[in-house]
Structure 1
Amino acid sequence: MSTPSSIAVAPPLTPVRGLRSITIPRGQLDDSTGLLDYVARNDVHTWVRRGDGLVAFGESARFSTAGPDRFIAAQQWWRTQLDAADVDNPLAVPGSGLVAFGSFAFSKTSQHQSRLIVPRIVVGCRDGHSWLTYITADEGADVTADAAEAALAEYLDETAIERVPDTSDRLTPGILSEEQWMTAVEQGIEHIRSGELSKLVLARDVVAELGSPVATAQVLRELAVRYSDCWTYSVDGLIGSTPEMLIKVENSTAQARVLAGTLDRNNAPADDPDYAQRVLAGSEKQLHEHQIAIDSLTGQLEPFTSTMTSHSEPFVLELPNVWHLASDVTAQLEPGADGSVPTSLALVGALHPTAAVCGTPTTVAGALIRELEHMERGPYAGPVGWMDARGNGEWGIALRGAVIESPTRVRMYAGCGIVAASNAAAELAESWSKFRPMIEALGIRR
């Protein structure tokens, strides 16, 4: 895939002078809500699952870039920040200390700006135990526990009001109508059956036009509660709750969760407890799609590992809107020539895009996506998450989400894996099941 000449060039890697940070333990959080008590502002950055994760406010540094080298450029920028930083962190907990939130464009040809954001305040939680990190680029600022608590209190003084659904709220078509998108799916199936590729992931968009401003914090809390097994994310207007972990790194261990194969729960029989297992695990089409996705990830991850394990057969992941075929992968990372293991962001650059969100071969699938979707995916299906100063991090795939384009306009995305046995009408229905989390969280009736 060639890169257009209009792609932005990464700016010079001039470090923010002397980022300074302090991390302090804060004890146990409420077991019932965890970090959700802090998801109180519409400009919050979040990465939350089952009450644990990170919630952040403000901005102490930012880097943006585009093009095929976006992951490398971001990694280089982060290293310059670490080299110049003064970090006081007594905790040996992933996500404590200096951290950055990130969101990256799906396509290397995209002009959408991928970004890393170093927040000013981070509240973290793991297994119910929390900490607070204060980060500043201000040379004259006091970097103390009292200053950290004062800064947090300042952000929490201005909490967002909740939104009541408006009678003028409506869904409007995205770039393609339903009929046009089904035609694109049929064309994709023809390309697969001709032998050009074995899988293609085609996405579509719909737009929520709201009668009153979106309450981002409220939407995030709704998603986190309803989809507690997913990772609820918010980075710079990109929001959602993804069930798919691209890569998680803790010290020398990497983990991933791969999903492919979907069954809508809307019309499932209530008196058949084995329905999902029988329909998903018994479907040659679903198993084939899943195997392509798992082979894609493990094949790209293997060069960085000494050992790797995954489920011999996929399990059924139950979510409120759908069931998925899922596989968890765990790997021990192999140290490089310098004795260090790859950072989470380095692995993101090596793994993205997987067959789960693009297709295989990825070069052929990527070209067909641009031809058939007729839209700019931007950050949709791109990596989203966080990393810390030790190389740890969690990076999901930005699925089941949306981009807030204005206070009253939200663009949602959903994609479907297409194989030779796919049916366009069934894929359209599946896309609506994947839109459902965001539609419901926004309070819109379809």
Structure 2
Amino acid sequence: MTSLRSITVGLGDSSSATGILDYLVRDDAHCWIRRGEGLVAFGEAARFTATGPGRFRAAAAWWQETVQAAQVDNPLGTPGTGLVAFGSFAFSKTSAHESRLIVPRVVVGSGASGAWLTFITDDGAAELSADRAQAELAGWLEEVSAEHSREGTDSLRAGQVSEEAYKAAVAAGVERIAAGGLSKLVLARDVVADLASPIATAQVLRELAARYHDCWTYSVDGLIGSTPEMLIKVEDNVARARVLAGTLDRANTHKIEGESDAAYAERVLAGSEKQQREHEFAIDSLTRKLEPYTSAMTSHSEPFVLELPNVWHLASDVSAELTLEGGRPPSSLELAEAVHPTAAVCGSPTETAGALIRELEQMDRGPYAGPVGWTDAAGNGEWGIALRGAVVETPTRVRLYAGCGIVEASTPEAELAETWAKFRPMMEALGLRR
């Protein structure tokens, strides 16, 4: 294993109105951004890939070895500084898609404590200094990626799962739930965007980050999107998660005369037994899996309505104090493995639902609905669920994914319509229409 060396230097407070987005100018950048804060990274100093049931454990072991062998100069010591790896993991243990951790060469970060710059190298003779770090960053920023020319010839077509096949899968899922053995199932489908000119990934990400500022906008090795759901965040021995289940399309409302948007969402979404049950399965799934790693846990007694530009969701935030085993808390990677997949993206019980997904969906989800995010050398990190996103398969072909929670009261037509609502963020950012 090649030993890595890194240096982190402070950049002071960010005075820009757009914050870290100022650095999102290259299509090959990795990013993790929310409300103008987060990480943008360039280049690659090291990479690890794995498949199968042991993908998380193998990645965690590789990262621990990498950290132990590294020479790190990090006077700041706050989460996201020092040695950092971006990652994405396949949803399924049976997937052929390679899960990955990528250590970039340059990372720009910003948070409540200010902004910073990290330079990482595998060159044992390279100079480690603030000047060298700034020079490396300047080199990456010299070339700005072009924006996509929307010529009107971009198109959208069915992917591996057609609309009719999806409705048939939902109907079959409802039948299996009614027969007993599982209470919820999440089924997904895909569509493919064929573009007349190469995708401008940085442009897409900037649009997503600006419109969906309460979501986490991500880009890791061609996996892009803006997720509203935090699988697990670890910071200073505290774990946090945001669980979503229950969706209402904002483009197709039936409000009572004089009713506000907020009142409508509360009445139709929070007042729905179907939506409440779906949400209950998701929150119970997460807390049950997280409990063995915690000494105390808190969550909302009732879910709240999360308002996004395309949909409303029922949401709950969970926080937990982590237990110390061997003098240290579990890392964000360890917890991501422990809680994935939740009922929000798989079903309940998860093993039964996972097997039925493989039977009914008839596609490999790849990284869709798997963990995506970052980890640092101290075990801090943020891992969202790769939702509201797409995979850039070629410069002119992008595959979008969306899924819905199925319960006994679900109908194929309603679930199909919900997938279109969930495709909307990526379609709009790509300039596509149905």
Q: TM-score, normalised by structure 1?
A: 0.95
1:277 partnered with 2:266: yes
For the 8 Å contact 1:292–1:355, the answer to whether it is kept is yes
The equivalent residue for 1:148 is 133
2:243 aligned partner, one-letter code: V
The equivalent residue for 1:308 is 297
The equivalent residue for 1:4 is none
**Percent identity of paired positions between Structure 1 and Structure 2:** 67
- Report how far residue 30 of structure 1 moved: 3.3
RMSD over aligned Cα atoms: 0.9
> 1: distance between equivalents of 2:144 and 2:128?
25
- Report how far residue 92 of structure 1 moved: 2.5
Instruction: Find 2:307's aligned residue among 299, 304, 318.
Output: 318
> 2: distance between equivalents of 1:62 and 1:158?
24
Instruction: Find 2:251's aligned residue among 263, 266, 279.
Output: 266
Q: Which runs of 4+ in 1 moved over 3 A?
A: none
SS of the equivalent of 1:205 reads: strand
The equivalent residue for 2:205 is 220
Give a deviation string over 1:364-406, Cα, whole Å, max 9, x none.
1111111111111000000000000100000000000000000
SS of the equivalent of 2:92 reads: coil
SS of the equivalent of 2:375 reads: strand
The equivalent residue for 2:386 is 398
SS of the equivalent of 1:332 reads: strand
- Report how far residue 128 of structure 1 moved: 7.1
1:164 partnered with 2:149: yes
Gaps of 5+ in 2: none
1:86 partnered with 2:46: no
> 2: distance between equivalents of 1:268 and 1:173?
26
For the 8 Å contact 1:20–1:135, the answer to whether it is kept is yes
> 2: distance between equivalents of 1:135 and 1:22?
7
> 2: distance between equivalents of 1:120 and 1:159?
18
Give a deviation string over 1:202-231, Cα, whole Å, max 9, x none.
000000000010000000000000000000
The equivalent residue for 2:428 is 440
1:263 aligned partner, one-letter code: L
* TM-aligned CA distance change 1:222 to 1:359, over 3 Å: same
> 2: distance between equivalents of 1:329 and 1:312?
10
> 2: distance between equivalents of 1:176 and 1:353?
22
> 2: distance between equivalents of 1:144 and 1:327?
44
1:359 aligned partner, one-letter code: G
Gaps of 5+ in 1: 1-14
Q: How does 1:15-414 map to 2 (within 5 A)?
A: 15-16=1-2, 18-127=3-112, 129-268=114-253, 271-273=258-260, 274-336=263-325, 338-414=326-402
1:272 aligned partner, one-letter code: E
- Report how far residue 269 of structure 1 moved: 5.2
For the 8 Å contact 1:249–1:344, the answer to whether it is kept is yes
2:127 aligned partner, one-letter code: D
2:148 aligned partner, one-letter code: R
For the 8 Å contact 1:205–1:411, the answer to whether it is kept is yes
- After TM superposition, the structure 1 stretch with the greater mean CA deviation from structure 2, 39-48 or 364-373, is 364-373
Q: TM-score, normalised by structure 2?
A: 0.98
For the 8 Å contact 1:306–1:334, the answer to whether it is kept is yes
1:244 aligned partner, one-letter code: E
> 2: distance between equivalents of 1:92 and 1:120?
18
